[in-house]
Amino acid sequence: LTLLGIESSCDDTAAAVVRGTDVLASVVYGQTALHADFGGVVPEIAARAHAEKLDRCVEQALQESGLTLAELDGIAVTAGPGLIGGVLSGVMCAKGISAATGLPLIGVNHLAGHALTPRLTDQVAYPFLMLLVSGGHCQFLIVESHDTYQRIGGTIDDAPGEAFDKTARILGLPQPGGPSVETAAQSGKPKRFTLPRPLLNQAGCDMSFSGLKTAILRARDGVVAEKGGLTAQDQSDLCAGFQAAVTDVLIEKTRRAMQIYLALNPARRSFAIAGGVAANGAIRDGLMQLCTELDTDFVAPPLALCTDNAAMIAYAGIEMMQAGHRDDLTLSARPRWPLDQRAAPMLGSGK
């Protein structure tokens, strides 16, 4: 099957054409510059930018794929969860194309797109364990099929990417915080500051990262009170301490998630990561080592497919379509959509 995918749930406008597991085209228009002055994504600005860019984005993806709409089998679109104005823009765009061409429409859960990416890039067999770790999400999922997910834990407050971004802001480093904190950490001493590992010794796979950010704020204020400011070495030491704390928590909780997953006795054990934080070298190395120790395949899709993109939406749509799933023009956009709820309800169903 060959599907067009459309994604607009956060701050990336994306369109892609995927045939089976071949990504024929994947176009992403980021909006980072539009939101830079506001310290976060502004929903109204995001929605307008999506509405403006979607047509061109779809056109470019089709052009790069070398295919026409007539050669497609369907259109997959992110129907939630996300910023509702953006999701609506994408859903309306997909409905328009579907109405004009008669192509089947498939509403995809954005998180399912991330969760199925290891099957697009590495043909990983079900069931596999996934850690989705980004600016907005942090959860462990046992992925059993395209529509069966067991969420076995996750953050109870901030996502790690958000914590990286806030840490950078506290220390006066540029956004996005992940890469700048990682770079600064390279010349830092992780043990200089004592930072908490929240929930580390609590049973289960739940995590918490907001206390860590407060601890960084206090440690910074301590240094500033003592010396009147932060040197580059202070920044590096704080970054190294922060990154070590996040890494320790993610590794320990992954070890526990792995125990739950391995109890299912999959014939081929696989652990995959997705989300922007998966770019972090220290976190990646730690997880890779854990997988070697537990004799489990480690799958880390290329970064362009780990962060928001439409190829993952097209691919999820392909699996859904193969399983007989179809939506129609009553498809609704949902701001919230937990992965364990199967399909988007129809308009007017009250939820």
> Measured from the CB atom, is 185 or 318 closer to ligand ATP?
185
Helix (H) or strand (E) holding 103: none
Euclidean distance between CA atoms 234 and 151, whole angstroms:
38
281 is in an annotated binding site: no
Give the nearer residue to ligand ATP in terms of CB position, either 117 or 280: 280
Can residue 308 be called a binding residue for ligand ATP (CB under 6 A)? yes
Among ligand ATP, Fe ion, none, residue 90 binds (CB under 5-8 Å by kind): none
Flag whether 234 is marked binding.
no
Instruction: Answer yes or no: is 165 a known binding residue.
Output: yes
Query: Which residues fall within 8 angstroms of residue 178, CB to CB, at 6 or more apart?
Result: 161, 164, 165, 276, 277, 279, 280
* Residue 275 interacts with ligand ATP (CB under 6 A): yes or no: yes
Residue 96 annotated as binding site? no
Is 118 an interacting residue with respect to ligand ATP (CB under 6 A)?
no
| Closer residue to Fe ion, CB minimum distance, 252 or 308 | 308
The listed partner (Fe ion, ligand ATP, none) that binds 81, CB under 5 to 8 Å by sort, is: none
User: Is residue 14 within 8 Å of residue 7, measured between CB atoms?
Assistant: yes
Q: Work out which of 50, 53, 95, 137 binds ligand ATP, going by CB under 6 A.
A: 137
Please say which residue, 155 or 280, places its beta carbon nearer to ligand ATP. Answer: 280
Residue 325 CB coordination number (10 Å): 17
Instruction: Give the x/- contact pattern for ligand ATP in 29-58, rule: CB under 6 A.
Output: ------------------------------
Provide the 3-class DSSP secondary structure of residue 138.
Answer: strand
Q: Give the count of residues interacting with ligand ATP (CB under 6 A).
A: 21
**Which helix (H) or strand (E) segment is 74 a member of?**
strand 74-80
Q: Is 90 helix (H, G, I), strand (E, B) or coil?
A: helix
Residue entry with tokens 């942090």: 138
- Give the DSSP per-residue string, 4-31: EEEE-SSSEEEEEEEETTEEEEEEEEE-
Binding site per annotation, positions for Fe cation: 110, 114, 308
Binding site per annotation, positions: 110, 114, 132-136, 165, 178, 182, 280, 308
